[in-house]
Homo-oligomer: A and B are copies of this chain.
């Protein structure tokens, strides 16, 4: 008979992108064990853009903790722990990290499904596959396999955190692809879009039949409500963490999700909180993970917004600031993770929100 597993999660604040004291304390107090940690998801106070070096600083600093504690090289840590940092704590957001570990569950069998986590990756992609059905299909396959291995049913997946592949290309490859009538799509927009749709297929939210190379970044009625993908130039496979509910896992954590119809959709947050029996400021809350986007049509509930025509401040910063404020004002807690750009992540101008909480 297989041993039951459980997730432990510790959320801690940071005083800067390189501040690892929260993690060190969690290890020192025995709240987490370094060798059980599967992933860290955190927000750092950068701009979230091309010249945001806070993510690199955080990765270096947190990797060094595992190197020292586990006696590993930085490469070995990279293979073992997903370090997922997102820049941008605009407005109320408190820079913070949630660390997730998996261990054997020696407690009594739980009275219902519990949070389960699976980690994995796609195969390596060729540049010409990015933003096309090849990427969607392989992402769907990988997400489905990871979920299955963790014993999470497709419909019980609540968050698919992905670092999307963007293989490097040469000018020669680009010209060849253009000549062949299939210009390369190996950039952030397309990789995020295909990753989200891959997740949507795996979770059975979107039928594979509804998809095509042409539907990407065109038919916005097709979307995932669980994907959260950022794409990284130079990465040639997509790294994936699947969070879901499973009847075969133990512990005291659960996860659920919703989708905000637009940036002001506070009622979606309220409904999700109600399902998890969370009140504002509830200390059972462990993590809040959302995607945001300034509505590309330039309006919000029929009224003009100015986020897309501001040349002083990027719309990505505004959209994170807004969604974080709305979500935090319902949760009563500014420790929310909001990442931006949400192609096929929820409807246009909206985006997914997942909450991890302790059961009562």
* A residues in contact (CB < 8 Å) with B: 13, 15-18, 45-54, 56-57, 60-61, 89-96, 263-267, 280-281, 300-301, 303-307, 309-314, 317-319, 321-323, 325-326, 328-330, 332-335
Contacts and interface: CB of A to CB of B under 8 A. Distances in A.
B309 A51 contact: yes
The count of identical subunits is 4
A330 B305 CA distance: 17
Given A53-B18, A61-B60, A90-B318, A266 B330 contact: yes
Nearest to A15: B304
Given A91-B307, A322-B91, A333 B301 contact: yes
A310 B93 contact: no
A352 to B, nearest CB: 17
A301 B334 contact: yes
Contact of A53 (B53, B90, B312): B53
A338 to B, nearest CB: 12
B50 A53 contact: no
A305 B334 contact: yes
B311 A47 contact: yes
Nearest to A17: B53
Contact of A321 (B56, B91, B332): B91
A264 B328 CA distance: 7
B305 A93 contact: yes
Given A51-B310, A314-B311, A317-B313, A332 B301 contact: yes
18 contacts: A13-B303, A15-B304, A18-B57, A45-B51, A46-B53, A51-B309, A51-B310, A91-B305, A91-B307, A91-B318, A92-B307, A94-B303, A263-B329, A266-B329, A301-B334, A303-B335, A313-B313, A321-B325
A54 B95 CA distance: 17
A312 B311 CA distance: 10
Contact of A322 (B57, B61, B92, B306): B92
A190 B277 CA distance: 46
A298 to B, nearest CB: 11
A78 to B, nearest CB: 15
Contacts of A18: 53, 56-57, 60
Nearest to A305: B92
Contacts of A92: 263-264, 300, 305, 307, 322
Given A57-B57, A326-B325, A300 B334 contact: yes
